[in-house]
Amino acid sequence: MSAETTKSAMTEFNHPNNELLIAEEDIARRIKELGAEITAEYAGKELVLVGVLKGSCVFMADLMRAIDLPMAIDFMAVSSYKDGMKSSGDVEILKDLSKPIRDKHVIIVEDIVDTGLTLTRLIEILDSRGAASIKIASFLDKPEPRIKKELKIDYTGFVIENNFVVGYGLDAAGRYRNLPFIAIVKNPAEA
């Protein structure tokens, strides 16, 4: 057989610069577990999942279908103010919640926590609006670059090493959010 016939075609899902880190089946299994935990802990409470756009969209869609409770969803979009290349920790609200969260039990749904600056500020903002409680569900936790060491992630999908990853909602310059798995970008300069 020639090299041509054995080599599979390059597609978006098997891009050579991306290396599989977390498979679709493992993601599905983990989300069922997180959903069961949240279902047990929020029974009888008014739960609102707040997704942080855009990265959390895929995790949000899967997580909400694993929570067997009456609940609502809402979304925010924020952009971190950058001081040169460094995140300053202040955030600009690009899209705000559509309803008040006063007296609601809020779970903020994030794609990944890196420095923790964005989420720390977001918690302060939502806390000032009188939520009954605020917890964090992050699909990925990348603890190494964490600046806000005190930030507590209540529900974590997977803890990963300090690599740039894409897929399952996470992007590199807007691309690869549609990958159904998590991949490490081998050469970020080429992504």
Nearer to ligand IMP, 39 or 89 (CB): 89
**Residue 62 site contact among ligand IMP, Mg ion, none (CB < 5 to 8 Å, cut-off depends on kind):** none
The reply to whether 165 sits near ligand IMP by the rule CB under 6 A is yes
Host H or E run for residue 78: strand 71-83
Which residue in the set 38, 58, 112, 134 belongs to the binding site for ligand IMP (CB under 6 A)?
Answer: 112
The reply to whether 115 sits near ligand IMP by the rule CB under 6 A is yes
| Crossing angle of the two packed helices 24-41 and 57-64, in degrees rounded to 10 | 60
Check: CB of residue 53 under 8 Å from CB of residue 77: yes
Reply yes or no on whether 96 is catalytic.
no
The reply to whether 114 sits near ligand IMP by the rule CB under 6 A is yes
Check: CB of residue 10 under 8 Å from CB of residue 16: yes
Q: Which of 62, 111, 114, 141 is catalytic?
A: 114
Nearer to ligand IMP, 57 or 66 (CB): 57
Which residue in the set 47, 87, 104, 155 belongs to the binding site for ligand IMP (CB under 6 A)?
Answer: 87
Copy the structure tokens of residue 143. 């603890």
- Helix ranges (H only) for 16-105 are 24-41, 57-64
Instruction: Please identify, among the stretches 10-18, 64-72, 106-114, 127-135, the one whose residues bind ligand IMP according to the rule CB under 6 A.
Output: 106-114
Copy the structure tokens of residue 120. 């720390």
Which residue in the set 30, 69, 74, 164 belongs to the binding site for ligand IMP (CB under 6 A)?
Answer: 164
Shortest Å distance, C-beta 120 to ligand IMP? 8
**Residue 117 site contact among ligand IMP, Mg ion, none (CB < 5 to 8 Å, cut-off depends on kind):** ligand IMP
> Quick one: how many helices (H) and strands (E) in the chain?
4, 9
User: How many other C-beta atoms are found inside a 10 Å radius of the C-beta of residue 19?
Assistant: 12
Picking from 94, 103, 154, the residue whose alpha carbon sits closest to that of residue 126 is 103
Shortest Å distance, C-beta 32 to Mg ion? 23
Catalytic residues: 114
